[in-house]
Amino acid sequence: MSPLAVLALALPLSHAFVPPSPAHLPSLSSSRRVSLRRSPPPASLPSTALQATTLVRPTSDTKDAKDKEPLTADLPPLLGGLRAINKKIVVITGASSGLGLATTKSLAKQGGYFVVMAVRDKEKTKRICKEEGLEEGKDVAVLEMDLASFDSVRKFARNLKAWLGPQPLDRLICNAAVYLPHLQAPEFTKDGYEMSLQVNHLSHFLLINLLLPELKKSKDPRCVIVGSITGNTNTIGGGLVWPRAELGDMRGWRRMLKGQRTAMIDGHNFNGAKAYKDSKLCNMLLMQELDRRLHNSTNIAFTSMYPGCIAETNLFRNKRQWFRKLFPVFMKYVTGGYVSEPEAGDRLAQTVADPRCAKSGIYWSWNGGARMVGVLVPGSDTPVGAGGSGGDLFENTLSDEAQDKKKAQMVWEYSAKAVGLDDIA
Q: Just list the catalytic residues.
A: 276
Give the residue among 370, 367, 357, 356 at the shortest CA–CA distance from 398.
Answer: 370
Is residue 209 within 8 Å of residue 424, measured between CB atoms?
Answer: yes
Non-local CB neighbours of 317 within 8 Å, separated by 6+ positions: none
Identify each DSSP E strand in 75-168 by its residue range. 88-93, 113-119, 140-144
Q: To which H or E segment does residue 216 belong?
A: helix 203-216
Can you tell me the distance from the alpha carbon of 64 to that of 86, in angstroms, rounded to the nearest whole number? 38
Supply angle C-alpha 153, 63, 29, rounded to 5.
55
Sign of the CA dihedral with 65 first, then 70, 71, and 74 last: negative
Question: Residue 116's beta-bridge partner residues?
Answer: 91, 141
Under DSSP, the state recorded for 71 is: E
Can you tell me the distance from the alpha carbon of 147 to that of 195, in angstroms, rounded to the nearest whole number? 9
Can you tell me the distance from the alpha carbon of 11 to that of 241, in angstroms, rounded to the nearest whole number? 7
**Three-state SS at 72:** strand
Q: What share of the chain is helix, strand, coil (3-state, %, to 5)?
A: 45, 15, 45
Count Cβ atoms below 10 Å from residue 364 Cβ, excluding itself: 23
Supply angle C-alpha 77, 79, 82, rounded to 5.
110
Is residue 280 within 8 Å of residue 196, measured between CB atoms?
Answer: no
In Å, how far from its chain's centre is CA 357?
A: 17
* Pair type for strands 88-93 and 71-74: unpaired
